[in-house]
Amino acid sequence: MEYLNQVLEARDYIKDVFPQQVDIGLILGTGLGKMGDEIEVIEEIDYDDIPHFPISTVESHHGKLIIGRLSGKLILAMKGRFHFYEGYSMKEVTFPIRVMGMMGIKKLLVSNACGGLDPEHRVGDVMLIRDQIDLFPENALRGKNPEVFGPRFPDMSEPFSLDYLAEAKAIANKLDIKIHEGVYVGVQGPNLETKAEYKYLRIIGADAVGMSTVPEVMVANQMGMKVFGISAITDLGVIGKIKKLTLAEVLAAAEIASPKMIAIIRDLIRTL
């Protein structure tokens, strides 16, 4: 039970800093970092101050836990996440979600940057995630399963809340924001896909591909959280539109999607 004890130690540290109950968790992935600037910050904790917390090694992920108010609601936001490709185990990647679950958080909003596979996608577009496909080589639930984590064999027939999805679609329509809706496939990375791999992912039912989110959502579902997911389309994996890509181009594309994602999440949080 060493892992459970580590989760509890991290939870207790955060609860000592901020004892009040928080109901909403938010993962600020690529494209949503600026939302951190909109949060009315009450407490800000560096990841390296939290016992057993991993440290992000990616330059576009900042590594802070923010507790504050957004749209009038008390939230706990991760400014920066952890990826399997950084060398972490799935237990480490999903450690913050376990901590959130043990803090009693029941609503989780996740964001990411991804490659669009739908021919209708354009760079800078936004996709609401309806479902997911797990192609990671390690399952996030593998290993011992303390009862407090949830069922050994959790149901994943609705990994993303259809209620939250419907509300987000209504918000986007009200704000006149063009959105897509689709299936996100998670792969280990860190390389981008070959043309043949993009074609394969499309054949198996994916609308977008990325290197995060899937493990976090799986663990959140096991712990009884309702989840909303949103993606920034930062590049295209559509045959005929595939080109060589740099991190700078990904970040530039995320900047285009960022205001739209922020507007949707801000209004969605108001309804939770």
Q: pLDDT for 165-201, tens place per residue?
A: 999 999 999 999 999 999 999 999 899 999 999 999 9
Q: How would residue 58 be classed by pLDDT, with cut points 50, 70 and 90?
A: low
CATH code of 226's domain? 3.40.50.1580
Span of 85-99, 105-119, 202-216, 240-254 with lowest mean pLDDT: 240-254
Residue 67 tokens read as 């507790």
Segment 50-69 shows an average pLDDT of: 79
Q: Where are the alpha helices (DSSP H) in the chain?
A: 2-17, 90-93, 95-102, 162-174, 195-203, 214-222, 247-271
Res 140: pLDDT: 94
Reported confidence tier of residue 81, pLDDT bands at 50, 70, 90: confident
Comparing 248 with 223, the larger pLDDT belongs to 223
The whole-chain average pLDDT of the chain stands at 92
Sign of the alpha-carbon torsion through 203, 206, 209, 215? negative
Which regions of 37-165 does DSSP assign to beta strands (E)? 40-46, 64-70, 73-79, 107-116, 126-134
pLDDT (average), residues 53-64: 69
Question: How confident is the model over 237-245, as a mean pLDDT?
Answer: 82
For residues 97-113, average pLDDT = 96
Predicted pLDDT of residue 56: 65
Per-residue model confidence (pLDDT) at position 174: 96
Residues 6+ apart with CB under 8 A from 203: none
Q: Please state the domain count of the chain.
A: 1
Give Cβ neighbours of residue 256 (< 8 Å, ≥ 6 apart).
Answer: 123, 124, 232
User: 3-class SS at 89?
Assistant: coil
Confidence (pLDDT) at 254: 82
Is residue 61's pLDDT more than 60?
no
Boundaries of domain holding 126? 2-271
pTM of the entire predicted model? 0.93
